Each structure stands twice: as C-alpha cells, then as structure tokens.
Structure 1
Amino acid sequence: MTVPLPFDNSYARLPERFFARLGPTPVAAPKLVRLNRALAAGLGLDPDWLAGPDGVGFLAGNHVPAGAEPLAAAYAGHQFGNFVPQLGDGRAILVGEVVDRTGTRRDVQLKGSGPTPFSRRGDGRAALGPVLREYVLSEAMAALGIPTTRALAAVTTGERVYREEALPGAVLARVASSHIRVGTFQFFAAQGDVEALRLLADHAIHRHYPEAAESARPYCALLERVVAAQAALVARWLNVGFIHGVMNTDNVSIAGETIDYGPCAFMDEYDPATVFSAIDRHGRYAYGNQPRIAQWNLARFAETLLPLLSGSEAEAVAEAEAAVAAFAPRFEEAYLAGLRAKLGLATAEDGDLALGRDLLRVMAENRADFTLTFRRLCDAAAGPEGDDGVRRLFAEPAAYDAWAEGWRRRLAREPLDGAERARAMRAANPAFIPRNHRVEAVIRAAVDREDFAPFEELLAVLADPYRDQPAFAHYADPPKPEERVLRTFCGT
C-alpha cells in the first residue's frame, strides 16, 4: 500500500534508550468521526486520502506508512509533587514527523493506539469521551490563539474499552511541535545519564530554539527560552479562564504548547480556587495556583540541566536559579498585557494591575461569570449604556458600579474613542469558550446515542470565538444550576 505521507522522524535518530520502537495495535473496525481538513492541508497531507479507507486505517493505527518509524517515548515526571522515575507513552505512539507548509517540523501522534512497554498494566486504549474532549478543547484553544497541540482526527475503533463501565473506544490523531517534556529530561537526569541529557538538549535547541545554539552558553539559553515560553503560555491560560487540571512535569512541553488535555476545563463563575479535576483532591492545580506550579515545574527542569550549565556546581546552580527566578516578572508582564487588553487599556499606567485585580475580587465576591463579564465590558467600554449587561452578572450590582467609576476615570486617559476601544476589546475577550456543560453534552450525545451533530455544531461555534454569532448566542450562556459540571476525569 502506498501512503502519501511524507514522514521523517528525527527523534527516532536519537539513541535507542530514548524510546521503545513499536507500531500501533490494530483495531477491529475503524470509523472516522472527524477529520480536521484545514490542519491536514496545512501539514501538506491530502485530506481526501485521509478521509478514505486507507487514510482512516492509518489514523486508527491499522497501517504504518512508509517512512514512519513509530515509537513510544520514554519520560519520567513529578505527579502531584511525587517523582516517578519512569512513565513514558503508555497509550500513544509517535508515528512520525512532517514538515508543514510553513517549514515547521510537527509530530503526528496516535493517542489510544494500544499498549506499550510504558503502559504499566494499562490497556493503552482511549475511550471516545476523552478523545472528543481533547479534540474540542485543543481546537478551541487554537482558535483563541493560545499555543497548543492540535487535533488532526478522531476515529472510533469498533471495540470497547473498560473503565468503570464498558465504553466505545477511539483514537485521537494529534499534532504537536514536539512531545518533548520536562519529564523527558527528568528521565535521564534520574539515571545520571549526562550524555543523553546533552543529546536531548541539543535536539530541543535544534528543533525549537535554534538561536540558543549561537549563545555562548546554549544550555542556559535553552532554559531561559523555555521559562519565557511557559510564562507566556500560563498567562494566556489565566486570561481566558482555563484550568489545565494536571500540571505534572510530564505534561509540560518544552515547546511552550498546551499539551495533554485530560480533566481540563474553563471556569464559569470566577473563583481562583476553582478545581475541576476529580484527581486533584487538594487543589494543587487550581486556577490561581497555575503560575506558582509552572515555576515549580521549571525549577525541576533547571535541575536536570545542572550538569550541562557549568563544570562548577555553584555556578550551575546560580545560573539555574537566575533563569527560574525570571519566570515571575515574565509571567506578570504577559499577564498584565493580556489584562490591559481585556480592560480596553492601550497605554500603561502603574495602577493597571490593581484595577484589574479589584475587578477580579468583586467578581469572585459576587459569583460573576468570568467570560461574560469581560465580554460585556466591551459594550460598557463603548458607553455607560452598556453597564446594565455587566451589572446583571453581579449578585450585588453596586459592587460593579463602584469598580466601574475608577475604570471610567482610567479610560478617560486613553487615546481611543469608545467604539474603537470596544472593537479592540472584542478581539481580547471571547464570546465563546468550551463551557464544561456543553462539552459534556456533546460527549453524552456521542457516547450514548452515537449522535455527533452536537459535537460538530460546538466545534463550528468555537472556531470563531471572538465574533458574535447571533444564531448560536445560547452557547455563550453559563450553565443553569442543574447543568453545572463540577468534576472532570482524565480517562485513563
């Protein structure tokens, strides 16, 4: 069989101890649920072929294309603060890499593709619900402009997987700049394998941060760039109300992308203590904790690089500490820039962060919806006649009124007029996010009734999140009390 997929797997050219070579486990009756045709075309792949029988067979793991060198990558990781020296791809196979139409090398991975040496007695499979959740959430994040892995396709397998009940099986084909994680470095650091650390760091520099190779201290430059990428990423999460749910070090991408969507969700009512993940019983990865945890994860990354930074332990530690310490100001800068845009501030003043935090405080005290509050502020920014829509979101509308007085004084010092400001704010404050009750509803329709029409409609709405869509305005509504979904699950 000739497969028109131009694979070239550079990771497979690293030493054998970096991975286990094996192919996906075939499935009984693959059926295409959805193909991301635009993404496929951007990767230089033929969408029509992928949607055909041979392409669906590839997406399900039944066919390995020529040029692919499928593998399951080895890595370690801190899981809820506890170090596990070997994790690895337990239900995913990196089929290969392609160079997309922009010249960027991208991984193509099949998630749910069967057991590997890293499965730890698991079946290596994925249920349909978590596959659809990752498809929706990752594509919504891409549309919001946040760095993320992408969903190429979802395929059902014609088989059942067993969790607490029998569920339809599925495979997610996903695309990433790479799947190199903090945990990948930790795997070799735990073994004291400095040669592997150097090879991995050189590979990461070549693939993601080639300018670091020109530095006098390339491994310190790598650390600094990963710190900067993660600071910018987590700031963007907070500015849209996103909660990753499982910020373990094995879920932190060196490329600065959002990766491994499990029990993730977007907030409805603003509360920095919000947790959705059923396995996060103590709130370690709550919304408001994400910057602190990101810096903690980066400190673990810095530890792995110590043997590469300097021959002097004291100098290496000093370099690592300085690089990790830079996270906080970088995060604050990125977060404040996003917050200013959300508030309609095109210029910078010293009190802007306090103004934004005051709004968040009264939102929390009044259980105001995060996304709707900022979206309706766009109308209020055009003129006081828009205030009523925001006031209705607050248990005590006077709390908003008191905050808005200071906001309007600040806006009076801005150069833009009301209409221009409102337009700019609508580009920073989405109308539509993948609200958890909507995501669960499309999963239930697909799993219980094999009805994928709600899934398709939700994806269509989320593909254009910053534009008002009157025909689908109800998708912006927060859940009714009986619709609220308070716990999400990772699906393993």
Structure 2
Amino acid sequence: MRYQNSYAKLDPRLYHKQPPTALDNPRAGHFNLQVAEQLGWSEDKELMQRWVDIIGGHYVPDGFEPLAMAYAGHQFGQWAGQLGDGRGLLMAQVLDNNDTLQDLHLKGIGLTPYSRMGDGRAVLRSTIREYLCGHAFAQLGIPASNALGFVVSDTPVRREKMEAGAALMRVADSHIRLGHVEWIASFAPDLLGEFTDYMIDTYYPDCRDSEQPVLSFLSAVVERTARMIADWQLIGFAHGVMNTDNLSITGSTLDFGPFGFMERFNPAWINNHSDHTGRYAYQNQPAIGYWNLNVWLPHFMRLPGVTRETLADCLAPYETVFMQHYQQGLCRKLGLPHEQVSLGLAFDWLSLLEDNLLDYTNSFRALLGLIAPDNYPHEKQLLATLTHELSAEALTVWQDWRKRYLAQIATLSIDEVIENIENNNPVYVLRNDIAQRAITAAEQGQFDEVDRLYTLLATPYKVQELATVLDSSPPAPNAPQMPISCSS
C-alpha cells in the first residue's frame, strides 16, 4: 500500500499516539475484498494473511502509525466539550487506486485518553450494522465510510448485557469532523490556521486557486454537506446522531450508530431511542445540517479575511443546494424530468405514501410494475401489495395520481423513464429486521447470513435469486418501526 500518514505529522496536541489493545482470541467475521483491492491491501501477501491479527489488535504492520484523534462537539444541541477517539485509532492513511487519500481507522480497539467513561470497546451487533451499512452505501453510490472487515472475539463487553467484543477496520476519505475545529477553537486556537491549511491542501486542493481559499473551502464543505443530507432523504436514511462530532468535512457519511432506513413512510420517524425530543428525526435532518454548519463556521473568524458577512455568504447556498439536489433526485426516482409538473406529482406521491404509511423503498420500486408489469414481475407484486393496503378513499386518490403520472410519462421516452426509476430506487436496503437476523446468527457463531446480506447489498438495484421475501418486506401496517440503541 502507498502510505501517506500526513495527519501524524501535525501538531501532537491534536492526537495521542498509541498501539491498539488486543482483543482476546479474535476470529474472522467478514472481509471486504472489494475494499482491499481498492486500497492495494490485496496485493500484500502478509496483510492478506494476517488481517484478523491486524484488526484484532495483535499485529501492527510496518507503515502504520496508530493514533487517537482529539476533537470536540455539540451533542443533541448542547456543547459537550472535549471528546475524541474513545475506542478507535487512526492506524494509517493510504492512497488508493484512484489516488484518493483513505483513512484506515480501527474501531473497538481499547482505551485512549479520550475514552471518558467508556471502555474502549465495540460489540458485535453494532459492528455488523456499521459494516453492512457502509457496504450498502458504497453500492448505492452515496459517499460514506466503508470497511475492510471485522472480527469477533472472546473479550467480554458489558452494555445492557454482556456481549462479545468486536473490532472493525473502517475506511473513509477523512475522519476529520466538524468537531475537530471546535476542539481547536476551545483548546488550541493557535493551531487554527495551520489546521485549516491542512484541510484545504489535503481534501480541497482546488480551493487554493481561489482568491480567498479559506472561504472557498468553507463554501465547499457547506455544499457537500447539503448534498449528503439530500442523498439521505432520497434513499430514506436517518442517521440518528447528527452531532457536530459525527459529521465529516468531506460530506461523506460517517459514524453509523443508531441509523435506520425508512420503511413505512413517516417523516417524523425517530430511529434513535435516546432521541427523546425527536431532534434527529428523518424530517429534521436538513435543518440540523444547517444548524451544525452555523455553529461550526464562526470559529474561522479568527483567520484573516473571514468576517461574519463572508461566512453568511458561505452558508447562504445551503438551502438552494439541498433543495436542488433533493428535487432533482426525487424526480429521477419517478423517472421524470426536473420541472414544476414533475415536482407536483412527486410531492403528491409522498403525501400518498405518508397518509397511508406505505413502504418507502417498495412503493417507488413498484412504479416499474405500473409501467412495464410484464418485464418486472417482482415490482408488479409490490404494486399489488401497495394497492391492497389502500382504503376505498385512498384508492381514489391513487387512481387520480396514477392517471396524471401515466399522462406525464406518455410524453417522455419510456425507456429513459424505466432506466431512471430502476437506477435510482433500490430493491434492497439494510432494513433493521434483516440486519438483526444476521446479528442473531453471528452471535451464535454463524456468519453465513452476514455474507448473504453482503452479496445481496452488493447489487441493490437488481432483483436477486438469493433474496428471500423477508428481505423486502416492511413491518405490518401500524407496527412501530424498531428504534435503535445508542449503546454500541
């Protein structure tokens, strides 16, 4: 691999160098060969042979420089002070096959100076969820961290009950969070200029060509964050903990904790059982993204040429970028061009889903069963299920919408409509219940279901023979969607 451990060369106040604390008897959970090939890991015989030892903390290869990052953050809208990598280590940074810098971050590998009241470990259930979700996002085409692999061990970890300790090698284009700047502003303000230069030169080098590189960089972060959250809304994803320490400066999804994919469409859905006020409900994510950036940006006023007015200019495009990306994506999900009549149809469609608590993923995909039922038998069945759940009154609304929709696509190329629907609406997402089945089997030492889901989610836009009915089945009508615990 091509190591480029630039973060380890920054001011030592920003991190603490230390080796991992090994897990007891680590064993293979799953290995992501696709990521290994992307990194060049697969070309190194020793790395391939010893990946369990590496992720389990028993072996640190030459070229690795493990360190725990310091950062701070606002959690649930409140200043939380110093945080940091409390159970993870940035093991190395490498250039991948696309010459993109990637962080190798080992999660669940022991105490650090930033552990606070934690034990430095991760449990198997949350490790499997993060592993599968990162993989799912990669195949859905949404920027996010992925993972090289995970291990399970004999190390006991107490959460609500005693569980098996696990570790995950997370791979991301950056682990620098909004909270890094918050930490610097509070604890090492003299580093702000140097650290900002590092962020620009490492992740936004094109901004160097601007007359005002810092403002160009800040604007780029705002726009990438807006597009990221629009992608979440389009796929029906709720992050669950949109604290400032959980948002990356690169606009890639980071920290898969109590996340969830929307099943029956309820914009007010809260998927984190610790979110008692609904701050991070699905429908609030765009506003929270704006709130986080609004908290983050003023710290840069310490730098020359950065004023409250120029920061306002950086933040101003957020809503426009979000709405444009979201609306365009929503129209593509319906196979329609981005125009006013399409948006009217799109928002009426969402209202139909919400009013009748229809399944978000299946309902969009079912449109193929309306347009080309002979070519899409799976989607034809989804459409039959959808209409069967509608009341007589709702059926009238559906028939009216269906008539308007078919009239609109009649003016378009049907092949292009079908292609857009098929390529923007997955058949499979990581529903909580299918993830839980894999977790339950893994806790008994069986990882076949993890492997099956890995394969299923590798091609989410195509119907697959290995799929079961349960893989695309929503919960029963009016059944609450399972909330996810923050404990991991």
TM-score computed with the length of structure 2 as normaliser:
0.94
Give 2:411's aligned amino acid.
R
Task: Give distance in 1, aligned partners of 2:196 and 2:314.
Answer: 16
- Displacement of 1:388: 4.4
Over 3 Å counting, the alpha-carbon distance change for 1:353 and 1:18 in structure 2 is: same
- Displacement of 1:355: 2.2
- Displacement of 1:301: 1.9
Q: Which residue of 2 aligns with 1:367?
A: 357
Q: Which residue of 1 aligns with 2:231?
A: 236
Task: Give distance in 2, aligned partners of 1:394 and 1:433.
Answer: 24
Deviation by residue 1:101-142 (Cα, 9 ceiling, x = unmatched):
111111000000100000002110001110001001111111
Deviation by residue 1:319-364 (Cα, 9 ceiling, x = unmatched):
111211210000000001110100111x332233232111111111
Matched, 1:344 2:339: no
Task: Give distance in 1, aligned partners of 2:453 and 2:370.
Answer: 28
- Displacement of 1:21: 1.2
Deviation by residue 1:372-395 (Cα, 9 ceiling, x = unmatched):
000011232347996645423534
Task: Give distance in 2, aligned partners of 1:133 and 1:483.
Answer: 22
Q: Which residue of 1 aligns with 2:395?
A: 397
> Of the candidates 213, 220, 235, which is equivalent to residue 215 of structure 2?
220
Task: Give distance in 1, aligned partners of 2:105 and 2:308.
Answer: 36
Cα contact 2:91–2:106 (8 A) shared by 1: yes
Task: Give the fraction of aligned pairs with identical amino acids, expressed as a percent.
Answer: 36
Task: Give distance in 1, aligned partners of 2:372 and 2:169.
Answer: 43
1:92-491 matched pairs, under 5 angstroms: 92-191=88-187, 193-308=188-303, 310=305, 316-345=307-336, 347-382=337-372, 388=384, 390-395=386-391, 396-414=394-412, 416-417=413-414, 419-447=415-443, 449-474=444-469, 475-480=471-476, 485-491=481-487
- Displacement of 1:484: 6.4
Task: Give distance in 2, aligned partners of 1:456 and 1:485.
Answer: 25
Deviation by residue 1:268-290 (Cα, 9 ceiling, x = unmatched):
10010011111111110111110
- Displacement of 1:471: 4.1
Give 2:174's aligned amino acid.
S
Runs (5+) with no aligned partner, structure 1: none
> Of the candidates 12, 19, 23, which is equivalent to residue 15 of structure 2?
19
Give 1:344's aligned amino acid.
G
- Displacement of 1:67: 2.2
1:85 partner SS: strand
Cα contact 2:327–2:338 (8 A) shared by 1: no
Give 2:482's aligned amino acid.
L
2:3 partner SS: coil
Over 3 Å counting, the alpha-carbon distance change for 1:481 and 1:407 in structure 2 is: closer
- Displacement of 1:91: 0.5
Cα contact 1:437–1:485 (8 A) shared by 2: no
Cα contact 2:269–2:281 (8 A) shared by 1: yes
Q: Which deviates the most, 21-30 or 427-436? A: 21-30
Give 1:261's aligned amino acid.
F
Task: Give distance in 1, aligned partners of 2:91 and 2:115.
Answer: 17
Cα contact 2:265–2:354 (8 A) shared by 1: yes
2:174 partner SS: coil
Give 2:462's aligned amino acid.
R
Give 1:297's aligned amino acid.
N
- Displacement of 1:473: 4.8
TM-score computed with the length of structure 1 as normaliser:
0.93
